[in-house]
């Protein structure tokens, strides 16, 4: 019987070798980012066609053209630019947003009301949390609102989608960490403009991992310290500036995640209709409930959300398994399940591969039908979340709450 030769022993991986791997990965990621996000140094917002603007406004394209010409005698509406041989009308992102705000149907933040903070959370990875966070942030600006995107995930995926390379461009001082360390109770200085008109970002970098050492350490030294309130306090000034603050929360129930959830007015939970994700979501709500019960019993902490919405994400069409799990989800979460769904399609995957969102695309080289279907699905989710936001503001106005 022949003796099977053993493969040669692999070399062990030293800290120096691991560091070299990390440096190489950072270099290649940076080069890819540079190549894919041309023209350097930042991403560029898309131009909005008259047809797309009509879809956003709930109008016909002919109505957009009328409002830009004969119906625009007082110059209320931006007129865009006529481009190409067909003389089609296009708008900059800022012009499109101004057009939306000029419509009588636009519902702005009520006078005397703070902006709302919406947390996007799920402690299982791969559920579309970042895609949902950025899409809702961009989509809300398309509906006329001024928005801040807060990245609290140390992996900084939202920051990357917004055109930043966290290790190279984002330092600890540019994140929420000054609030974590007690150095400030106002994070306005950390909010920076993004390439997307009307959307600022409070970015993240791996230094955020330090929050889950700093916060429990401070809590152990000072029993009166309330770690769960640090973000709520430092976000208060931001609620005067922004209509909406969208938080991409850490994928856990860590100290920083707990503080982020305590600061939110509304909670959005992305959930792919897959069996493992369904099981994980049940655990998420179980741990979430236990956490707030514990804080309530031990520290007399009360927390209410204006709304909670589960949004089906990464939904595959024509999948028997998907349909079965969707049935489970509807039975379990009927009271808080959103009607809109974020589809998984080639256009969504391809945009993510280029460090873009669906809303970043100027057009699509593939099936126009697939592109429009995905876009309509994302728009429907954004419209549903905005309806929740408007109801929250109306409830506060009716109750006589005054913040500003």
pLDDT, one tens digit per residue, over 330-372 is 999 999 999 999 988 888 888 887 888 899 988 777 788 888 8
Partnered with residue 49 across adjacent β-strands are: 90
Instruction: Could you list the beta-strand ranges (E) of 27-75.
Output: 48-49
Packing angle, helices 93-102 and 50-57, rounded to 10: 40
pLDDT, the chain, mean:
88
Find how far residue 402's CA is from the centre of its chain. Answer: 27
Q: Are 48 and 91 in contact (CB under 8 A)?
A: yes
| 27, 38, 135, 347, 359 from 32: Cα distances, Å | 9, 10, 22, 20, 21
pLDDT, one tens digit per residue, over 155-170 is 999 999 998 888 778 9
Among residues 203, 167, 186, the alpha carbon closest in space to that of 27 is found at: 167
Q: What is the dihedral of CA 256, 262, 263, 267, to 10 degrees?
A: 100
**Could you give the 3-state DSSP secondary structure of residue 71?**
coil
pLDDT tops 80 at residue 187: yes
Question: Distance between the two ends of the chain, CA-based, in angstroms?
Answer: 86
- From CA 336, how far away is CA 208, in angstroms rounded? 31
Sheet containing 81-83, strands listed edge to edge, beginning at the edge strand earlier in sequence: 48-49, 88-91, 81-83
- From CA 61, how far away is CA 67, in angstroms rounded? 10
pLDDT, one tens digit per residue, over 242-263 is 999 999 998 888 899 999 999 9
- From CA 310, how far away is CA 127, in angstroms rounded? 12
pLDDT at residue number 293 = 83
pLDDT at residue number 30 = 67
Q: Would strands 192-193 and 199-202 be described as parallel, antiparallel, or unpaired?
A: antiparallel
Q: Work out the pLDDT band at 40, boundaries 50, 70, 90.
A: very low
Of residues 250 and 268, more confidence is placed in 268
Packing angle, helices 211-221 and 255-263, rounded to 10: 90
pLDDT at residue number 107 = 93
- From CA 218, how far away is CA 227, in angstroms rounded? 8
Of residues 12 and 239, more confidence is placed in 239
pTM: 0.89
Find how far residue 213's CA is from the centre of its chain. Answer: 26
pLDDT at residue number 388 = 95
- From CA 383, how far away is CA 403, in angstroms rounded? 25
**Could you give the 3-state DSSP secondary structure of residue 317?**
coil
Cis-peptide, bond into residue 39, ω within 30° of zero:
yes
Instruction: Could you list the beta-strand ranges (E) of 95-196.
Output: 116-120, 147-151, 192-193
Q: Are 273 and 315 in contact (CB under 8 A)?
A: yes
Domain boundaries 116-398, CATH class: alpha beta
């Amino acid at each position: 019987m022949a003796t099977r030769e053993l493969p040669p022993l692999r070399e062990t991986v030293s800290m120096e070798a691991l560091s070299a791997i990390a440096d190489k990965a950072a270099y290649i990621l940076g080069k890819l980012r540079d190549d894919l996000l041309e023209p350097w140094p930042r991403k560029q917002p898309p131009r909005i066609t008259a047809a797309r603007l009509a879809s956003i406004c709930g109008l016909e394209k002919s109505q957009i053209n009328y409002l830009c010409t004969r119906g625009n005698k007082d110059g209320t509406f931006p007129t865009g630019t006529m481009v190409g041989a067909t003389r089609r009308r296009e708008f900059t992102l800022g012009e499109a947003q101004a057009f939306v705000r000029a419509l009588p149907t636009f519902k702005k933040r009520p006078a005397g009301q703070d902006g709302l903070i919406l947390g996007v959370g799920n402690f299982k990875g791969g559920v579309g949390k970042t895609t949902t966070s950025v899409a809702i942030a961009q989509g809300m600006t398309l509906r006329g609102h001024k928005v801040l995107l807060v990245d609290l995930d140390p992996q900084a995926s939202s920051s990357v989608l917004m055109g930043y390379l966290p290790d190279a461009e984002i330092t600890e001082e540019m994140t929420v960490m000054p609030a974590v360390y007690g150095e400030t109770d106002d994070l306005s200085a950390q909010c920076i403009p993004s390439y997307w008109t009307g959307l600022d970002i409070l970015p993240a970098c791996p230094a955020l991992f330090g929050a889950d050492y700093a916060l429990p350490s401070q809590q152990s030294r000072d029993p009166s310290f309330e770690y769960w309130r640090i973000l709520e306090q430092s976000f208060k000034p931001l609620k005067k500036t922004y209509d909406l603050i969208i938080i991409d929360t850490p994928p856990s129930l860590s100290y920083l995640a707990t503080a982020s959830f305590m600061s939110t007015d509304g909670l959005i939970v992305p959930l792919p209709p897959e069996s493992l994700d369904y099981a994980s979501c049940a655990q998420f709500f179980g741990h979430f409930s236990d956490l707030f019960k514990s804080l309530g019993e031990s520290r007399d902490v009360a927390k209410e959300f204006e709304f909670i919405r589960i949004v089906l994400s990464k939904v595959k069409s024509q999948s028997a398994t998907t349909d079965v799990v969707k049935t489970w989800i509807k039975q379990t979460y009927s009271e808080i399940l959103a009607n809109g769904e974020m589809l998984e399609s080639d256009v969504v995957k391809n945009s993510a591969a280029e460090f873009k969102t669906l809303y970043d695309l100027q057009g699509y080289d593939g099936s126009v039908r697939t592109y429009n279907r995905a876009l309509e699905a994302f728009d429907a989710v954004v419209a549903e979340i905005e309806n929740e936001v408007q109801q929250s503001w109306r409830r506060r106005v009716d109750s006589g709450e005054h913040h500003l």
